[in-house]
Amino acid sequence: MKKIGANYTGDGRCIFTVWAPEKKSMTLLLLDPSEREVLMDRGKWGYFSVELTDIKPGTRYYFKPDGGKPYPDPASHFQPEGIHGPSAVVDQGAYTWQDQGWRGLSFQDLILYELHVGTFTPEGTFEAIIPRLDDLAATGINALELMPIAQFPGVRNWGYDGVYLYSVQDSYGGPAGLKKLVDACHARGMAVFLDVVYNHLGPEGNYFDQFGPYFTEKYCTPWGNAINFDEEWADGVRDYISNNPLHWFDHYHIDGLRFDAIHEVFDMGAVSIWELIHTTVKALERRLGRSLHLVAESDLNSPKVIKTPETGGLGFDAQWLDDFHHALYVLLDKAGRDRYADFGRMEQLAKALTDGFVMSGEYTAFRKRKFGTSSAGIPGDRFVAFNLNHDQVGNRVSGERLCHLIDFERQKLAAAVLLLSPYVPMLFMGEEYADESPFFYFVDHSDADLIHAVKEGRKQEFAAFGSDTEPQDPFEIETFTKSRIQWEKRTEGKHRIILEWHRKLIELRRTEAVLKNVAKNDIRVTVLGQAGLVVHRQSVGGYDHLIGLYNFSDEEVSYELPGWVLGWTKLLDSKEPQWMENGDDSSTLLPAQPKPGQVVTLPPCSVTVYTGQVQLPADAPV
């Protein structure tokens, strides 16, 4: 594959390369130290390139296809003046990394934390995140997942309007800021994931058509024409996209990528773009000697997403599990059934825990067709589960978080079901202490027509959900500032209790051998009518057992503990005084060491966790 963009090799040497297969000529316009033009050489496969020996890092430049107007480099590493301004040469070897001993983390061991750089701190920069890393690590969080950071219009955006996929957002701190953040994370034993978008490019500042056929009218996405992965001249586009993960892994020491909405990527070629990415990334993984994780967001409910290309799959290591969120949320918030009409039964949450996909071939009213196939038997560490993410919050008309929708006791229930599940859990920034700031959708476009289209689009989207509430204006700066989390509240009152609750659950996940076993064959769920359920997990070999007793109802529920263990010991009880919003309450605590077979009465809206061991046969090896 061809290296594209400005490849600075040191000592003033820089190779400029751009793909423009249907252009007759290409001119490099340099702006520093003074303006000059250099005619580029036309090579094979539609690439133009030129090597110069007097270039300094930071040199600004444009490309001029066929000697016409100047445009930024599609593979720009930095846009210091925004999406419409010149590109800048970056010396990727200038930063002195301190993470030489870093080999990454096992995906199974991750506690992911999705954050938006612009609203996580008042400064809204990479470097401003660093002082908060120790507090996150103390909670047990060991992996940041940054919402898209590729250069987007203005300074306020979720990131999904990114245009220059190789360029680090200037307002966040650019390439140097990102490297400092990644280095600081690795020093604390924390991984860093990026959210990348390969299903479309943002509309503003998108000059890619001036260079080549990056898009196709053969397919259409919710954001316009699809990226051209299988039509004429697709090879250059495939190189552009498949090189991008290597760029982040190699230059920025990123540990994993989350791929946005892969179901909106269309490729009918014999070797799909996903197989190409899988192959190139795994080769880099072997060369670097550290783990590189590929995670998909997929609306397919198909195990093929996480199968290897050799077995007919797409080659991802894991995928988001939306069905877990839907099944759990509607049991916590009855109003959620208006949003997720196909969910609402306790058996569905049980299936989400034991199988993964809830919709595995059933007819769904939402889609008006049968949907999905079974994921039973697939290990839990191939899925990412969550109670919140940017979509679940930001695509509500008032930007409500889960803590706005359910009471304190149910918040504890939600956290326990997630963090004691067999899946890799992900928290959304502030969720660990029930931050009460909304998270709205916001943009900072300069095109008036585009701003109007975005506003109208949001109104229509919420109207489709039956909302008659006027949504926040995405362009108003107040919409952005209201979305900043209130970090200082994490040590106050109920926020401190929820924070400690999350810390305790993560600690159990790390210390209890049973919770490290992600094999689905070692999970059983007993449904307690529509009131609650019991999640029974065992260690590899079946010696250690753990049961989570979850009562979702407002009434007491009785349950007979299994009788085939030596004894039960209580690990956690959500009704103990330290976990109550107002201190002690009138609930009778479940016994600390109940007898095997004893009937216990679960208090309303409660979580209780017990552990036990079975009697080994006399001739069992020790």
What residues are labeled active site? 260, 297
For residues 159 and 148, is the Cβ–Cβ distance under 8 A?
Answer: yes
- Residue pair 314/278 in contact by the 8 Å Cβ criterion: yes
Residue with tokens 């079975």: 614
Instruction: Name residue 16's beta-bridge partners.
Output: 6, 50
Strand segments (E) across 141-300: 143-146, 150-151, 164-168, 191-196, 215-221, 224-227, 256-259, 293-296
Main-chain phi, psi angles of 76, to 5 degrees:
-55, 135
HEC readout, 520-531: HHHEEEEEECCC
Q: What is the residue whose two structure tokens read 């793909």?
A: 19
Report whether 393 contacts 401 (CB < 8 A): yes
Angle at the Cα of 31 from the Cα atoms of 27 and 34, rounded to 5 degrees:
115
- From the list 443, 338, 322, the residue with the least C-alpha distance to 387 is 322
Compute the distance between CA of residue 192 and CA of residue 161 in angstroms, rounded to an integer. Answer: 21
- Residue at token pair 């007993």: 526
Q: Which two tokens stand for residue 24?
A: 């007759």
Q: Who contacts 98 (Cβ-Cβ below 8 Å, separation ≥6)? A: 183, 186, 187
Helix (H, G, I), strand (E, B) or coil at 569: strand
Task: Look at residue 227 and give its three-state secondary structure.
Answer: strand
Query: Could you tell me how many residues make up the chain?
Result: 622
Separation in Å, CA 141 to CA 118, 248, 321, 552: 20, 22, 20, 27
Hey, what are 250's tokens? 């190699």
Separation in Å, CA 536 to CA 23, 82, 471, 515, 560: 64, 53, 43, 10, 13
Residues 232/270, Cβ–Cβ less than 8 Å: no
Q: How far is CA 52 from the centre of its chain?
A: 40
Q: How far is CA 353 from the centre of its chain?
A: 20
607 strand-pairing partners? 550
Taking CA atoms, 302 is separated from 266, 313, 371, 428, in Å, by 16, 10, 9, 25
Q: Where are the alpha helices (DSSP H) in 89-204?
A: 117-120, 126-129, 133-139, 174-187
Q: Are 431 and 387 in contact (CB under 8 A)?
A: yes
Question: Using CA atoms in the order 209, 212, 216, 220, what is the torsion angle rounded to 10 degrees?
Answer: -40
User: What letter represents residue 350's amino acid?
Assistant: A
Q: How many CA atoms lie within 13 A of 425 on its CB side?
A: 27
| 573 and 534 Cβ atoms separated by less than 8 Å | no
- State the DSSP code for 310: G
- Give residue for tokens 């270039």: 55
Segment (H or E) for 371: strand 369-371
